[in-house]
Chains A and B, each alone.
Chain A
Amino acid sequence: MFRFILRRVLQTIPVLFIIASLTFFMLRFAPGGPFTQEKNLPPEIEKQLRAAYRMDLPLWRQYLLQLGDWCRGDLGVSTKHLNRRVSEVIAKHAPVSAQLAVWALLIGLVVGVPAGVSAAWRPNSALDYLPMSCAMAGICVPTFVLGPLLALVFALGLKWFDPSGWNDPKDMVLPAITLGAHVAAYIARLTRGGMLEVMSQDFIRTARAKGADARRILVKHALRGGLLPVISYLGPAVAGLITGSFVVETVFNIPGLGRYFVGAAFDRDYTMVTGTVLFYAVLVIGLNTLVDIVLVWLNPRLRLE
Chain B
Amino acid sequence: MRSSDTDFTDFHGFRVPIRVNQCNPCLSSFVFIRVHSWFSSAEFMTTAANQPAPPLLEVEAGSSLWHDAWLRLRKNKMAVGSAVVLALLSLACFVAPFASPYTYEGQDLALGASAPSAKHWLGTDQLGRDQLTRLLHGGRVSLLVGLAATAVALLIGVPYGAVSGFFGGRVDAVLMRIVDILYALPFTIFVILLMVMFGRNIWLLFAAIGAVEWLTMARIVRGQVQALKKQEFIEAAQALGLRRRRIILRHMVPNVLGPVIVYATLLVPAVMLLEAFLSFLGLGVQPPMSSWGLMIKDGADRMEENWWLLIFPGATLAATLFCLNFLGDGLRDALDVRASKD
Contacts and interface: CB of A to CB of B under 8 A. Distances in A.
A22 B190 contact: yes
A142 B318 CA distance: 7
B276 A277 contact: no
A247 B196 contact: no
A144 B325 contact: no
Interface in B295-342: 296-297, 299-300, 303-304, 307, 310, 314, 317-319, 321-322, 325-326, 339
B175 to A, nearest CB: 16
A156 B194 contact: no
Contacts of B281: 246-247, 250, 262
A241 to B, nearest CB: 11
B322 A30 contact: no
A71 B213 CA distance: 31
A230 interface: no
Contacts, number: 114
B26 interface: no
Contacts of B314: 141, 145, 148-149
B324 to A, nearest CB: 9
Contact of B277 (A12, A32, A148, A243): A243
Majority secondary structure, B binding face:
helix
Nearest to A236: B183
Interface residues of A, number: 47
A288 interface: yes
A105 B281 CA distance: 23
Contact of A151 (B194, B273, B303, B325): B303
A140 B197 contact: no
B167 to A, nearest CB: 21
A173 B40 CA distance: 59
Interface of B: 181, 184-186, 188-190, 192-194, 196-199, 269, 273, 276-277, 280-281, 293, 296-297, 299-300, 303-304, 307, 310, 314, 317-319, 321-322, 325-326, 339
26 contacts: A15-B181, A15-B184, A15-B185, A18-B181, A26-B190, A26-B193, A26-B197, A30-B197, A139-B325, A140-B318, A142-B276, A142-B321, A144-B293, A144-B297, A144-B300, A145-B310, A147-B300, A152-B307, A156-B303, A246-B281, A247-B280, A250-B281, A251-B300, A262-B192, A277-B193, A281-B186
Interface of A: 12, 14-15, 18-19, 22-23, 26-27, 30-32, 136-137, 139-145, 147-149, 151-152, 156, 193, 239, 242-243, 246-247, 250-251, 261-262, 265-266, 268, 273, 277, 280-281, 284-285, 288
